[in-house]
Amino acid sequence: MHPLVRDLYKRAITVGRDYPHSQGLNFVRETWKKALRDPSNFDVNDERIKNNPVEYEKALRKAVGRGRYAIREMIGVIQMKKFRTMKRRYGAGNNLPQDSDVQRIQNACKDLIRK
């Protein structure tokens, strides 16, 4: 296995630990294994790629770039799930300071600066 592909898989597993799915890490692991083994994601049978190491490396880096994009999307899904959970748990703005509290704090700070 190419080191870039191995690194991509390790990143996916690391991010997948927090993935919001009923199976969690197992779902991510199986999905990424299928994706890495699928020949349509990286067409090695193309003669242009097969016989030219430079083209092969270029195509491999392009495929790894698409994989890294997928990992960034996974991170976005995880962050959105965490945000929504926190918003649901603590409410939308229930604990925000009121305008009178802000004014009181600003006046107290001004008084401290004057002294």
Question: Where do runs of H (alpha helix) occur along 1-115?
Answer: 3-16, 25-37, 47-50, 53-90, 99-114
Global pTM?
A: 0.69
The mean predicted confidence, pLDDT, of the chain is 83
Domain ranges of the chain: 3-114
CA distance 29 to 12: 8
Per-residue pLDDT of 95-104, as tens digits, reads: 555 667 777 7
